[in-house]
Amino acid sequence: MKSWIIIAIWAMAVGAAHAADIPAVLHWVQRVEVSPRVSGIVQAVNVQVGDRVKKGEALLTLERRIYRDRAAESAARVARYRAEAREAARHYQRIKNLYDRTVISTSVLDSATMRNDRARAMLNEAKARLALDRQNLWDAVLRAPFDALVVARYAQPGESVVVELRPQPVMVLARSGEMAARFLLGAHRMRRLTVGQAVTVVVDGRRYPGKIRMLGLEPIAEKKGPRYPAAAVFATAGTLRAGMPAVVKLP
């Protein structure tokens, strides 16, 4: 709400040079706080504020030895249970063949069946544990969820990261390559616009082709009457900052 109030105050202060020139303020198209999915001690932070990162790029690494050891133990457990499951399956097949020839009793077959089922269950449980441990090992490295700009960094090497119901953020990312210009319009202008309509956004004298992304439905009260929030998005090549003033040129 504060951002819309700032836009409204600035619009009244500077006015519009042209009927179709609307004062606006830049915002991130997408801003997220990120944190690892597992707890641990920060081993390395690979980025600084202002860095541009690609999707999947490692941002932060926790100490991974404990997760690596757990994954190795789980892999060994899977290998052991796989061997036991194979032996149980062979034993069951031998007993089943003897039972089919009426050489042994039903109780012996039942015992072999239970052993075979138990061995398979233990193997499946071990596989599930291995998958979880490998996922935790992977999650000990925090990776960028999309191409982004590092807006803030809170973690330092040696600090503890504790994952709870609300994990503590270690940095803030904003989607790179695109920004939004937010502005306010009266009802008469809103009726002339549609989502996806082409507009021009001007920042520091540079013109950017953009499109209307959002047209609000609820007004923000002002002394001069209700005005509605709107936003236009545009591609950026350089580094623009949230909060910078802009002008949206409407058609």
Helix axes 106-139, 65-100, angle to 10 degrees: 160
d(CA 223, CA 5): 12
**DSSP conformational letter for 227:** B
Angle at 147 between CA 144 and CA 151, to 5 degrees: 75
What class does CATH assign to 2-30+175-249? Answer: mainly beta
**Residue entry with tokens 């202008």:** 189
Instruction: Write out the residue limits of the CATH 2.40.30.170 domain(s) in the chain.
Output: 2-30+175-249
Residues of the chain with CATH 1.10.287: 65-139
Taking only the tens of pLDDT, the chain with its 251 residues reads: 555 554 544 444 444 444 489 999 999 999 999 999 999 999 999 999 999 999 999 999 999 999 999 999 999 999 999 999 999 999 999 999 999 988 889 999 999 999 999 999 999 999 999 999 999 999 999 999 999 999 999 999 999 999 876 778 999 999 999 999 999 999 888 899 999 999 999 999 999 999 999 999 999 877 778 899 999 999 997 789 999 999 999 98
Q: What is the CATH number that goes with domain 32-62+141-174?
A: 2.40.50.100
Nearest to 170 by CA among 38, 65, 82, 11: 38
Q: So what's the pLDDT on residue 169?
A: 93
pLDDT at position 12 is 47
Pick the CATH number of 65-139 from 1.25.40, 1.10.287, 1.20.950, 1.10.3470: 1.10.287
Given this model, what pLDDT does residue 60 score?
A: 98
- Please tell me the predicted confidence (pLDDT) of residue 239: 81
Q: Given this model, what pLDDT does residue 16 score?
A: 40
Tokens of 227: 């005005």
